[in-house]
Each structure stands twice: as structure tokens, then as C-alpha cells.
Structure 1
Amino acid sequence: MTQPTHLASPAPLFQTAVVAGVGLIGGSMALGLRQRLLAKKVIGYDANIDVLREAEALGVVDEIRTTAGEWLREADLVVLAAPMRSLDGLARDLAPYLNPAALVTDVGSVKGGIAGVMEELGVRQFVAGHPMAGSERGGVTHARAALLENAVWVLTPTDQTPLTSLSKMRSLVEHLGAAPIVMPPEAHDALVATISHLPYLASLALTHMVARDERLSLLAAGGFRDLTRVASGDPRMSRDMVVENKAALREALSRFRRQLERLEADLDDPEELLLSAQEGKRTRDSLPVVKRSLLPPKHDLVVAMPDQPNQIGAVTQLLGAAGVNIKDIEVLAIREEGGALRLGLESAEEVARAAELLRGAGFEVRGRG
């Protein structure tokens, strides 16, 4: 068994990453960067020092900052993860200090205007993005790297987007375990108006009906709760999301009204209503099931894999010989200089023991117990 004492860790995609806005999505991205060994250092930037301290305590980020400054010039990746209405202001605060060579992206749910703002600010290496992931439970406390796994991640380049920056962003998304797709900003906004923003308004309308008649709340069971789940999201962030996309959303609402009117007319034509119901069932049943590890194994250990022969074997043999039971194993990322290996273990104690063994053998490890 090969157990070298001095291993060169695989080179990260980025030396220093800055996540500006350490909430649910920003925190999940920061965790993904750290746990998958994609950045040597992750800095959290936020105006709220309490949020930053929590993020640091949870191991989401390595360092914290509350004000922009020259320290930003060391970053070769900057992620803008503020709420929609704060995004432009955040960009303007950071832009004077950014390294011109840094890859810059955002995670906003509306893409129509941000690229123009970044161009105005002279940020050339910008690629607008939107990971299609989330939860009703917001904040860094609920951030999980697994939230982004298998998620569709829309990238919306413009004519001014450098192809090299788009390529880097695609690679980052893939290394985070998500699936990048590329489309124009206006196409993205029209699509999310229908599949995200319209359902939010529909949920509000239904919950308002229940709120105004307490008898309805007595009968609102599982089906109603499932249908109105998105109404449980952060009200201010949800408000900002739909207002920023109001032009596309108004068009989607117009089409939705026409569909409701057609279904209302079908109440007098049972056969036509049956056809509509059958079409609805076919469409709903054909939607892909995206399997995300929203409740990932709690006892994970990530091991850096240098580009040397038999390193996976060395890890498994070392732990096996010590009686450490590996319940799950996953190759997270492969790069020219190496990759990373995720090990699912029995307990937090097993994570600590395995980490000690592997560090003693010269491996770089990060645990989540």
C-alpha cells in the first residue's frame, strides 16, 4: 500500500473566492467551494456581522469581511449573492476593488439588467448565473453544499461576455455538481416568470383565500400545502424577485388567465375537461425528477486526491486496515492536478478518526460530521 508522507494537494480552481451575501444560496456555494476543495480560501462578505460570525462558526467560510477594500484584489472568483434589489448596489460597492482578471458571477433569479450594470462598471469577466435551487428555510444556517447538486444552473452570457469566462463558469458549475445550461437573459426571464414567479403569485392568491375564511383552513390538508409551498419563502426576497421581473410576469399572468378561463368554460363540457385533465396528468408525470441530496449524509470526509497512482486505493486500504467502515464513496472532481474524494462514514467520531489517520499519511482532508 502506498502511504507517502508528503503529498501535493490538487491545485484548486481558485486561490481566493469571495462570496458576497452569505445567505442560503451564497452559503451553499461557499460550502461547495470549501468541501469540494475548489478554492484555497473562501471569504464571506456581508453587511451583517452576525450573519458572518455564524457563517464562520459553521465552517461555511474561512474569513469574514464587512466592508469592501483593497483586500478584494486577491480574489480570483467573486460571487454576488445578495437579494435582487440589493444586487446593483453590491456590484457598485465592490467594482472599484476587483481584480480585472477575476471571474465574477451572480446568483440572482432575474437576469435582464445585471449584465448591463457590470458592463457599465467596467467588470469584463462577468458571467450572469442562476442556480435553480432553493428552500423555504432561508439563511446561512440552512446552507448546504448538496443544495446545488444536480440543480440546473442557468448561465446567461451576452455579446460582451468573454468566451474564456463562460468556459470557466461552466467548469465551476460542473465541479459544484450542478448542470449548466446557457441561454440569453431575456429567454431566462420569460421562462422563470412561468415556472417560478407565476406559481409564487398563484400560491399567494390561494393562501389569501384561506386567510379570509377560517373554515377553509380546517380543510387545507396535504395537497393544498404542497401546492402553496412556495408561499412560505422569505416575503421580502420573494417580493423583490417578482417585481424585478414584472414585464415577463405580466405576460405569464395573461396566459395563465386564459388557461383558467378555458378550464372554467370546460366545466360545462365534461369530455373536454377530461381531455384537459389527461393532458395535465401526462405533462406532470413526464416532468423529470431532480434528485438532490437535500438531506445529505451528515458524516462526510472529503479527501484531496493528488495526481499520483493508487491514491484512492491508498485511502481505502488505510482506513480499512484501521477498521473504519466506509459506507459511501464518491469522486467529486477530477482536474489535471488531481481531484477530491467524498467518504460517507458511520459517525462524527469515525470522521475525526479517519481524518487523523489520513492527515498522518499526508492527505489533505475536510470533514462534515
Structure 2
Amino acid sequence: MIHKIGIIGLGVIGASLGMALRSCCPEIIVAGRDLDGEIVTRAIELGALDLPLDDQLLAECDLVIMATPLQAMAETIKQIKDHIKPGAIISDVGSVKSWVMQLLEENIPAAIHIIGGHPMAGSEKSGLQAADKFLLQNAAYILTPRPGTAEKPLQELTELLKTIGARVVIMNAREHDQAVARVSHLPHLMSAALVNNLAAKPEFLALAGGGLRDSTRTAASDPDLWQDILMLNRDAVIEELESMLQILIDVQLALQYKDGEMLHRYLQTACTTRKNVPSLRPCLEDARDLIAIIPDQPGVIGIIGTLLGHADINIQILQLLNVRDEDEGSIKITVPGEKAFAACELLKKQGFQSWLLEK
């Protein structure tokens, strides 16, 4: 059983893990360390840790999670490998798994269970201040156990992660790296490309709407972090870039030769596929979205939350879409499908212009 957990590195992922674990598993002791001692103190104050992680406590941990940047992992492993007890589990949260798993297998004693990990959640913001105990809820959490790993430790870690709301997916390291190159690493490069394409015409940024902001959110992420991720997974990323380049060439040719039929097929495929994305999150399969126009004034979102809460309608997602010049804005509210009509009617009765979006 997992009774004590050590988290090394208290950035957005490490601290969010700590918060979620302490919230959902209060019987488990969560300790942590960071290069900055003040961050450890602050993490305890924020509820991400029970106490600091020294070497003595590290030796008592049933699970050790490395949540450091990739470039720090080799040194981290060197510092901790002689302090981890036989039978414990060591994991990580790195975005590249083949390289990390090789590093662990070459340095960690055979009596320690190596189970790589990668939570598919994060933020363009970094550091403890961006941590969120709900960050991993409904997010895929990929585990890459060393071949031959016993069933018991893998099951224990899986159940622990499910307890904090994550969707556990088990695959080997190579499969992971190819998959995340397509769903994470390539999209990050596309986000950066869109922003860099605007560099020559920065005045066009004033015309940008929500679509561009959504498409380029990850471009604001830490360049040092992403340089390491992309370089360490470069073979898989290059393969995905080649595929993307061919797609863009095909679109260019369709426009050049006025092939509207091909262009429509391309756009229709994207439209259909995108509409199916929410179904990958089980808790939102039957959810509905509604739009509400609200005045731009303090407390209005709280009023809406209270209205829906009193009607026993849970807000699953709330997103601020836009604030207009006439001192009003629009929000998108995701609620359980069976209560969507009631939520919309309730807001209308309270004077908020509201409507349901098509599924």
C-alpha cells in the first residue's frame, strides 16, 4: 500500500499533484522538496504538502515522483537513487518517456519498481503559483511501466491516480512518445508557428479574436522547457512535422487549382473529428454548452454560480469568451445535458440573454 509519497520538484505539475493527493487521500503523507526552500514552505502553506522531504523521509516513501524539468532528471536520480527503499515505486511526470525510462533503468536498482508517468495536463503558466488541485481531473495520465513490472505496484499507482480523478492509460514508452508528438508536441510547434507568422505584421494582432488566442495559448509556455521536450523526442516530432507539411501542401494545391471539393472534404473531416473530442472526457459525454451575455461588473459570475447552484445545477466548465466595448461580455457554461434547458431558462428569467449551443 502507498502510505507516504515524495514529490521532487514543486512546479505546476508537482504542486498540483500534491494538492490533489492531499485533498483526495488525506490518510497519505505527502512530502516534497525543491531547489528553492522558500517554495517548499509556500507549498506547505498552500496545502500541496504535509511536510518537507529530507533523505530520511525519502527512504520511507512508498512512491517517489520526480516532477523536475527533463534536464534536471539525471542529477535528481543521482541524488535520490541510494535513498529509495526496495519495493518502492519511482515515477516521473516527463513529457518524453523513452529517454526518461532509459535513464531510470540504467541508474535505479532492480528492487525498485520503475513506472514512468506523464499527466496530459498543464498550463502555459509555470511554477507553484499556477498549481491547481483540479488540474488532473478527467485528464489522461499515461503510465509506462518497465517491462516485467509486477502487477501489484502498477495497480496501486493506477488506483491512486484514479482516486484524484485522472484517466489512466498504460502503454510502452515508444508508443507514448509517438502519440504525444502528434497530440501535444506538434500542436505546440503549430501554436508557435502561428504566433511567429504574425511577427512581421504585429499590427494585425489588434484584429485577433478568440480563435487565434485559443490556437496560440501554448505558445506562451516556457521555451527552455519545450526546447528540451522537442529535442529529446525529435525523431517522433520530425515524423509528425513531415505529415503536417504534406497536409499543408495538399491544402495549398487545392487552393491553387481551385479544388473546392477537396477543400470541403478537408474542412469537413476536421469539423467532424473536432466535434468528437469532448467525448474523450467521460464526465462530459452528455454535457451541453450554453452561452450567456453578462454585464462587465464585479460579482456577476458569482451570481450566476449561486443561481445555478440553488437549482442543483452543477457548472462543469465555465469559460469567459469575450468582453465587449459596451461593458458586457459572453461566457460559455457547460452543465449536465439533462439540466441544460433548465439552466438556460433560469438565466433568462433572471435577465441574462442565454441560448444553448448545438451538440
Quote the residue 1:319 is aligned against.
none
Quote the residue 1:282 is aligned against.
272
Paired letter, 2:120:
M
Per-residue deviation, residues 296-343 of structure 1 (Å, max 9, x unmatched): xxxxxxxxxxxxxxxxxxxxxxxxxxxxx9x899xxxxxxxxxxxxxx
Quote the residue 1:74 is aligned against.
60
Quote the residue 2:118 is aligned against.
130
Quote the residue 2:92 is aligned against.
106
- What fraction of aligned residue pairs are identical, expressed as a percent? 33
Paired letter, 2:83:
Y
Give 1:291 deviation, angstroms: 7.8
**2: distance between equivalents of 1:41 and 1:166?**
20
**2: distance between equivalents of 1:132 and 1:44?**
21
Which among 209, 230, 248 is matched to residue 221 of structure 1? Answer: 209
RMSD: 2.1
Aligned ranges 1:185-224 → 2 under 5 Å: 185-224=173-212
Which structure exhibits the higher relative contact order, with contacts defined as CA atoms closer than 8 Å and separated by 6 or more residues? 1
**1: distance between equivalents of 2:202 and 2:135?**
35
2:128 matches 1:178: no
2:121 matches 1:150: no
Paired letter, 2:274:
R
TM-score by length of 2: 0.74
Give 1:70 deviation, angstroms: 3.5
Give 1:147 deviation, angstroms: 0.7
* Cα distance change, pair 84–231 in 1 and its aligned pair in 2 (3 A): same
User: Any runs of at least 4 consecutive aligned residues in structure 1 with deviations exceeding 3 A, and if so which?
Assistant: 289-293
**2: distance between equivalents of 1:248 and 1:81?**
23
Per-residue deviation, residues 239-277 of structure 1 (Å, max 9, x unmatched): 222121111101110111011001111112112111111
Give 1:292 deviation, angstroms: 8.3
**2: distance between equivalents of 1:129 and 1:20?**
14
Give 1:86 deviation, angstroms: 1.2
Does the residue aligned with 1:203 lie in a helix, a strand or coil? helix
Paired letter, 1:97:
H
* Residue correspondences, number: 283
Which among 23, 37, 50 is matched to residue 25 of structure 2? Answer: 37
Give 1:208 deviation, angstroms: 1.1
Aligned ranges 1:1-369 → 2 under 5 Å: 14-37=2-25, 39-65=27-53, 69-123=55-109, 124-267=112-255, 268=257, 269-289=259-279, 290=281
**2: distance between equivalents of 1:207 and 1:200?**
11
**1: distance between equivalents of 2:217 and 2:246?**
24
Contact 1:72-1:98 within 8 A present in 2 as well: yes
Does the residue aligned with 2:213 lie in a helix, a strand or coil? helix
Contact 1:30-1:61 within 8 A present in 2 as well: yes
Contact 1:125-1:165 within 8 A present in 2 as well: yes
**2: distance between equivalents of 1:100 and 1:81?**
21
Contact 2:69-2:94 within 8 A present in 1 as well: yes
Unaligned runs of 5+ in 1: 1-12, 294-324, 330-369
Give 1:40 deviation, angstroms: 3.0
Of residues 120-129 and 284-293 in structure 1, the stretch that sits farther from structure 2 once superposed is: 284-293
Give 1:167 deviation, angstroms: 1.4
* Cα distance change, pair 135–39 in 1 and its aligned pair in 2 (3 A): farther
Per-residue deviation, residues 41-91 of structure 1 (Å, max 9, x unmatched): 2111111112212112212111124xx633311111111101111122212
Give 1:15 deviation, angstroms: 2.4
Paired letter, 2:160:
L
* Cα distance change, pair 172–40 in 1 and its aligned pair in 2 (3 A): closer
**1: distance between equivalents of 2:116 and 2:51?**
25
**2: distance between equivalents of 1:230 and 1:250?**
19
Does the residue aligned with 2:95 lie in a helix, a strand or coil? coil
* Cα distance change, pair 288–103 in 1 and its aligned pair in 2 (3 A): same
Contact 2:186-2:237 within 8 A present in 1 as well: yes
